Structure 1
Amino acid sequence: MRIDYVIKAIASLLEDGELVYVGLNSGPALLGAFLARDMLKKDIDIVGVAEAFNPNSITFSPSTGSPFFLEGSPVMTTADSFDLAQKGKLDVMFLGPAQVDQETNVNLTGIGGYEKPSVKLPGGAATAYLMPLVKKMILWNLKHSKTTLVEKVDFVTGTAKHSGNRVYLVTNLGVMRYNRAKRKWEILYYYPWSEYEDFEKNTGFPFDVANGTVVLVREEEMAYLDKIDPYNLRSSLDF
């Protein structure tokens, strides 16, 4: 499945020693974090909105807030996670916005005018608070297009514009990284099916290329994902 390459890309962005916070309904992020820890052997700790700290194993369910996450795991409250972010000790957080723009602004509020949006989105929760505080922000959106990667978002739910943190964007075409020195997004990873022209046709702002690396998924990594996703729920995320 192509979604497995997205999961591997997410796993590849995680580094030893990081405390990784997985938000609500972030299936690719959750699977990517466990793939990084268990298969790529990265020394990371995983925290989720179910308030579990570094579970030994998981069985993937429709919600990353499911109580399954607590089995065999100590508890770390959401308030504790936010406190760590304020102290600069929360290393990684994932976010799935509907729109991302050329300045790292994200939109989880609504499409169209704020007073009468054409689409009302779920809302930002703690996005505005956490986004500039987390050391590494990994955004993900599985519909890379000029309506999702836009010059300017319809509503700024949160931003890392005034922060010094690292920001990545994982999509169905590959991975982009925000270069703060250039104030510009740049391609970091491709997938076997994507090329520069695909980014050019489907991105609503100028960008550069930092790397030509292609993300590959090994058979044993696919087997691991099948093991922790016995109901094949990630197929619903495939594209």
Structure 2
Amino acid sequence: MRVDYVVRAIAELLNDGELVYVGLNSGPAILGAFMARDLMKKDIDIVGVAEAFNPKSITLSPSTGDPFFLEGSPVMITVDSFDLAQKGELDVMFLGPAQIDEETNVNLTAIGDYERPKVKLPGGAATAYLMPLVKKMILWNLKHSKRSFVKRVDFVTGSARLSRNSVYVVSDMAVMRYDRSERRWKVIGLYPWSTLDEVKERTEFGVEEENPRVISITEEEKRFIEKLDPYELRSALELP
């Protein structure tokens, strides 16, 4: 599955010593975090909305907030994770916005006019609070197009524009890093099926390359993902 490559790309962005927070409905993010910790043997701690600290293992379910995460794991309530963010001690957080723009603004609220939206989105929960605080924000979107990667989001649910943190995007076409000094997105990773020109064509704002490498995945890594997702729930994220 192509989404397996996205999981692999997410795992690569995690580093030793990081405290990683995974939110709701974040299948690729939780799979990537566990791949980084358990297969790549990176020294990371995983917390999230299921309120468990470093769950021993998972079986992917429709919600990453499923309480089965608590089995055999210490409890770490959400408010404590948010307190760590306020203190500058939360290293990584994932978000899956419907829209991302050239200034790191994200939209999880509504498409179109807020008063009469074309699409009402789930909402941002603590997005506005957390985005400027975490040290590394990893955004993921599996429908890389000009409708998702826009010049300006329809509604600013949250933003890292005024922060100094690191911001990355992992999509089904590329991995990108936000360069604060140049205020531009840089393509740092591509997949076997994508090219820089295609990424540019599917992005409403300008992007530049930064020695992008082709992301690969091994058979061992595929088997690892399949073990955590035996019901192939991630297949629902696959595009035609």
TM exceeding 0.5 = yes
In structure 2, what residue type is equivalent to 1:78?
T
Q: How does 1:23-172 map to 2 (within 5 A)?
A: 23-172=23-172
Identity %: 69
Which position in structure 1 is the counterpart of 2:193?
A: 193
CA distance in 1, matches of 2:177, 2:90: 19
In structure 2, what residue type is equivalent to 1:156?
V
In structure 1, what residue type is equivalent to 2:124?
G
DSSP 3-state at the match of 2:28:
helix
CA distance in 1, matches of 2:177, 2:50: 29
DSSP 3-state at the match of 1:58:
coil
Which position in structure 2 is the counterpart of 1:224?
A: 224
CA distance in 2, matches of 1:236, 1:108: 20
Q: Which moved more, 1:97-106 or 1:226-235?
A: 226-235
Unaligned runs of 5+ in 1: none
CA distance in 1, matches of 2:38, 2:63: 21
In structure 1, what residue type is equivalent to 2:51?
E
Deviations 1:110-137 (A, max 9, x none): 0111111111111110000000000000
Deviations 1:34-69 (A, max 9, x none): 001111111000002010100111111111000111
Aligned residues: 239
CA distance in 2, matches of 1:229, 1:106: 28
CA distance in 2, matches of 1:121, 1:235: 22
- What is the CA distance between 1:148 and its match in structure 2? 0.5
TM-score for the superposition, normalised by structure 1: 0.99
- What is the CA distance between 1:233 and its match in structure 2? 1.3
Structure 1 outlier segments of 4+, above 6 Å: none
Which position in structure 2 is the counterpart of 1:182?
A: 182
Deviations 1:5-34 (A, max 9, x none): 000000000000000000001000000000
Unaligned runs of 5+ in 2: none
- What is the CA distance between 1:211 and its match in structure 2? 2.1
In structure 1, what residue type is equivalent to 2:79?
A
In structure 1, what residue type is equivalent to 2:97?
P
DSSP 3-state at the match of 1:118:
strand
